[in-house]
Copies of this chain bind each other. A is one copy, B any other.
Amino acid sequence: MSQTIYVISGPAGVGKSTTSQQLVQALSKSAYISGDAISHIPVNGRGKPWLFKETFDLTWKNILSLTRNLLEQDYDVVIDYVTFPSEIEWFVQQLTDFQYRIVYVVLLVDRSTLIARDQSRSAEVQMGERSLVLLEEFEACSELKEQHKLYTQQYRREQVSEIIEEIQNNFRFILKGGHPS
């Protein structure tokens, strides 16, 4: 049996964490990697602009190492992180020695829904402008294929389970590997 890596991407405030955590609960042997948490492992000496690329690469290197260890022990892995196609491409290139399936989902909403969702969060975690900038980056990204986009503005909070089903059962999100069993 081969494992599945789910990469749940999208702009800040779109619902990546909620979706990822419910997805991990829907799987029988599963692990949850928060890219944000991993990116905060380096604390001091990481913030300088000229170190940014290095720190960013380190985050992906750390996510990769954890994923490898988890696949070796037969876990499905859910990665919750702002992830662009170029990062996915690098990631897949590092995992050629594993049998696995990778599902890549970019959660998106329209502008007004994103603003409304962001404002409904507590003040200290609101992203404000940053959230919209990321939304535009995803929408302008020519490498991002339509098949990996999932617009969620029609789902209400209590309908996350329907998004989970869609992610698990719709073949269009599969980037590499066989169909979901």
Contact = CB atoms under 8 A, between A and B. Distances in A.
A25 B44 contact: yes
Interface stretch (A61-69, A81-89, A132-140): A61-69
A123 interface: no
A75 B49 CA distance: 17
Determine which residue in A27, A44, A61 has the highest number of CB atoms from chain B within 10 A of its CB, and name it: A44
Interface residues of A, number: 27
A42 B30 CA distance: 6
Interface string A28-57: 111111000100011111100000001000
A163 interface: no
A162 to B, nearest CB: 20
Interface in A154-175: none
A28 B68 CA distance: 30
A70 B41 CA distance: 9
Interface residue SS majority, chain A: mixed
Given A61-B69, A69-B61, A41 B32 contact: yes
Counting every copy of the chain, the complex holds: 2
A30 B44 contact: yes
B24 A43 contact: yes
A32 B44 CA distance: 9
Contact of A65 (B29, B58, B65, B73): B65
Contact of A62 (B25, B46, B69): B69
B41 A28 contact: no
Contacts of A31: 41-43
